[in-house]
Amino acid sequence: MGSGQMVAVFGAYGHTGRFVVAELRERGYVPVLSGRDSGKLQALATSHPGLETRPASVDDPVSLDSALAGAAAVINCAGPFATTAAPVIEAALRATIPYVDVAAEIEANVDTFAHFADRARAAGAVIVPAMAFFGGLGDLLATTAMGDWTAADEAHIAYGLSSWHPTDGTRASGAVSRRRRGGARVVYRNGRLDYRQDDATSLQWPFPDPMGTRAVVGEFTMADVVTIPSHLVIPEVRTYMTAEAAGDVSAPDTPAPTAVDEHGRSAQTFLVDVVVRSRGTERRAVASGQDIYAVTAPLAVEAVDRILTGRTRTVGVASAGEIFDAPDFLLALSSHISLDLRP
| Per-residue model confidence (pLDDT) at position 50 | 95
Residue 149 lies in a domain: yes
Structural domains of the chain, count: 2
- DSSP states of 244-274: HHHHHHHSTTPPPP---STT---S-EEEEEE
| Per-residue model confidence (pLDDT) at position 183 | 87
Instruction: Determine the Cα–Cα distance for residues 330 and 271; give it in Å rounded to an integer.
Output: 14
Q: Are residues 161 and 244 in the same domain?
A: yes
Instruction: Determine the Cα–Cα distance for residues 22 and 26; give it in Å rounded to an integer.
Output: 6
Residue 165 lies in a domain: yes
Q: Are residues 272 and 142 in the same domain?
A: yes
Q: Are residues 21 and 93 in the same domain?
A: yes
Please provide residue 205's backbone torsions phi and psi, each rounded to the nearest 5 degrees: -115, 130
Q: Is the pTM of this model over 0.95?
A: yes
Q: Are residues 221 and 249 in the same domain?
A: yes
Q: What CATH number corresponds to the domain at position 35?
A: 3.40.50.720
The beta strands (E) that lie in the chain are given as 6-10, 30-35, 53-55, 73-76, 99-101, 126-128, 154-161, 185-189, 192-196, 202-206, 213-217, 236-242, 269-278, 281-290, 316-317, 338-340
Domain that holds residue 36: 6-132+296-327
**Residue at which a domain ends, from 245, 270, 291:** 291
Please provide residue 47's backbone torsions phi and psi, each rounded to the nearest 5 degrees: -85, -10
Q: Are residues 120 and 140 in the same domain?
A: no
Residue 99 lies in a domain: yes
Q: Are residues 152 and 285 in the same domain?
A: yes
Residues of the chain with pLDDT under 70: 1-2, 343
Q: Are residues 23 and 54 in the same domain?
A: yes
**Residue at which a domain ends, from 291, 314, 335:** 291
Q: What CATH number corresponds to the domain at position 250?
A: 3.30.360.10
Q: Are residues 29 and 45 in the same domain?
A: yes
φ/ψ region of 139 (left if φ > 0, alpha if ψ in -120 to 50, else beta) reads alpha
Q: Are residues 10 and 108 in the same domain?
A: yes
Instruction: Determine the Cα–Cα distance for residues 285 and 275; give it in Å rounded to an integer.
Output: 7
Are 55 and 45 within 8 A, CB to CB?
A: no
Are 219 and 243 within 8 A, CB to CB?
A: no
Q: At what angle do helices 81-95 and 106-123 cross, to 10 degrees?
A: 10
Instruction: Determine the Cα–Cα distance for residues 167 and 100; give it in Å rounded to an integer.
Output: 20
| Per-residue model confidence (pLDDT) at position 71 | 98
Smallest CA-to-CA distance from 241 within 168, 175, 157 is with 157
Residue 314 lies in a domain: yes
Instruction: Determine the Cα–Cα distance for residues 324 and 100; give it in Å rounded to an integer.
Output: 13
Residue 332 lies in a domain: no
- The β-bridge partners of 94 are none
Residue 81 lies in a domain: yes
Radius of gyration of the chain (CA): 19
Q: Are residues 184 and 239 in the same domain?
A: yes
Q: Are residues 169 and 271 in the same domain?
A: yes
Residue 340 lies in a domain: no
Residue 95 lies in a domain: yes
User: Which sign does the torsion angle of CA 121, 127, 132, 135 carry?
Assistant: negative
Q: Are residues 157 and 273 in the same domain?
A: yes
